[in-house]
Structure 1
């Protein structure tokens, strides 16, 4: 019995996504979401700002909510991209490592993370998937990386840390005080001298509590 030839594959509709065009849309959306919030941001205005049609925005991201989630994922990835990985850090020099991690986290808390945080807080309760993704890929990842390092330092005998996740949370929380709140409220931010003083004191307090 002769087999029938396999049917030819159906041609795919549409054109492949243009990474540069998607980048323009995400950057424009971030500006509008930061300024107006999810509810008041206009897809028409975002499309015009990005130099594309409204239909292009919808074909790439599905909806305004889908675009918002994409912006949150994009900003979260940018925020944590340079956060030090636990495996690259020397467990024999915890004070030096904590100064480096604290400086990076403080820079994020004072700068790149603020826009993503404002966007996520603005839709808390109405966009649980976006908020969950932001938390998992941002704060939870940073806390987990630091906890992994603290475990290694504990095993090396340079720190005494019974609960690494709790200790990591305590350390990073020291950078989320009044200066961070001022940033969230778009008020005057602490200057470089204040940030350096906070960093040194946070590391001193942590080492006093957990030093071997």
Structure 2
């Protein structure tokens, strides 16, 4: 039976015995490295399979198709850099240290050479109607901002913040963190002279807390 091509892959992993988690991890690591280096169109499932040391059919059996693998690879990279534990409920932790921890992780991700390379690749033209930009956004920044928005909702319910639109506030926080550093890195300019990452992170958190501070008690 002929092997499926990249354009004729199964839509979802086939049912059957439990998948080999070590092979799955190898495939994800290979996909992450190759997609970050070469972009979605620059990588084939054959190449990912070869780097992972598995067959192409094994890749398809775990992930279904190239698009699903791309989404999981982006999410996997983001979760490595910004662990999901940073967004899980921890009401006992004061709000400012919690936001500082998230901000440090997100800032490091934004400034990482791998993420900068991926953003540059996504800025290249794609075919009209391609879902790839939305897939990249939802698996990366959108995925992280959704976790942060959920945290803001919990802290607002606890009376620590006064946020009326959690998704918008999450986007504002991430935009503040990017500042002028992110576009400079995308253009190859490097950080601004005298740039102090920790001072920028602290200022971002403090500005955000002032903007969404709850009103004083009567």
- Taking structure 1 as the reference length, the TM-score comes to 0.69
Q: Which residue of 1 aligns with 2:100?
A: 99
Q: Which residue of 1 aligns with 2:202?
A: 200
Q: CA deviation at 1:47?
A: 1.6
**Contact 1:75-1:116 within 8 A present in 2 as well:** no
Among 128, 144, 148, which residue is 1:138 paired with?
144
What does 1:1-212 correspond to in 2, within 5 Å? 16-85=18-87, 87-90=89-92, 93-111=94-112, 114=115, 118=119, 121=122, 126-127=130-131, 130-131=135-136, 133-134=138-139, 137-152=143-158, 155=159, 159=161, 161-163=162-164, 165=166, 166-184=168-186, 188-189=190-191, 194-211=196-213, 212=216
Computed over aligned residues only, the root mean square deviation of the Cα atoms, in angstroms, reads 3.8
Distance 1:68 1:89 in 2: 34
Q: CA deviation at 1:88?
A: 0.9
Deviations 1:163-206 (A, max 9, x none): 25244432332102222234455663579961111012223323
Distance 2:70 2:100 in 1: 34
Q: CA deviation at 1:119?
A: 9.1
| Higher alpha-carbon Rg | 1
Count of residues in Structure 1 that have an aligned counterpart in Structure 2: 195
Q: CA deviation at 1:149?
A: 1.9
Distance 1:171 1:144 in 2: 13
Unpaired segments ≥5 residues, structure 1: 1-11
Change (3 A) 1:22 1:150: same
Deviations 1:92-124 (A, max 9, x none): x44444333322332333349827963994679
123-132 vs 76-85, which moves further: 123-132
3-state SS of 1:52 partner: coil
Distance 1:148 1:116 in 2: 34
Distance 1:97 1:180 in 2: 23
Q: CA deviation at 1:20?
A: 0.8
Change (3 A) 1:52 1:138: same
More helix by share: 1
Change (3 A) 1:89 1:41: same
